Structure 1
């Protein structure tokens, strides 16, 4: 797949799991949930099957075998092709080394913050800071439990990254909230933030 087509991270997850061993789609979904990959990459059944079809059409994966067990429907086991193997590692290396602009919902909200009154912006940001504190507490607890169960830190490194981002955002929010409360945020130096209702 050309780099411009590498927008669906669910495809990366499928390639990753099939790099470990051949699996059927249901097993891929269960493994993603069990490992917490679905906390990082959005997963739903329809999307998973669409990604598998896309990878099949692009010859990144192939059907290895189809198994029928009892009354269950037949399940097709997929495996990586050599092209899928190369694509997985090329894509993974690209993601790790190349910073890219990511468009978050919070950044979009901040872009239009001036449409709110200073009081409302202050209150909403305080609530966000409180919600962040809860998320941080939950993630720290999850990391502790996971590490105590013997899971290698390498397998939860994306959770550590998420925690670091949340902690940095919380520190930044505290400063913005302080600046709003002290009247330091204005449109221009001579204006006050007061045009909103």
Structure 2
């Protein structure tokens, strides 16, 4: 099986919410502003759906021929698709060297159980802390050696960003560990707003 692409991950995650056709997937992704995470085009999504089906990660469950609209094939997530999604999220939540993938993993982390997310984020936090300490010490050493400040502007920015991400990660972990924060695949609320969003995307 090929490695999942970010679009593939988003498609599998959508199908965890329920069976749907690609047109609904595109509309839901756009209504949720997922273009902030990846480029969304009809062609890319339909190509991704076809590849995921060939790999057995999703399957057809019906074809809609309503009115004069083009046929719409509805897809469902297979057990293999669920396993692939969970494996990808676990891997990408833990590492710090693939920031684009991490953003998508974080956006879809609710597909993992709370304890799993906590464990993965603690691993990531340890790696972030190690990187921050090394970066901070390197910056101090450079200044001690008289390296001009204008040369260190980017170095200084990265140290600030790493420190901020550590603080944010600690805050998220605190929320997750309190268990007052609804979480996990079974905690997704079928609110009126969510159901209306799904209905609008199906039109």
Q: Provide the TM-score with structure 1 as the length reference.
A: 0.50
CA radius of gyration, larger in: 1
Higher relative contact order by CA 8 Å / sep ≥ 6: 1 or 2?
A: 2
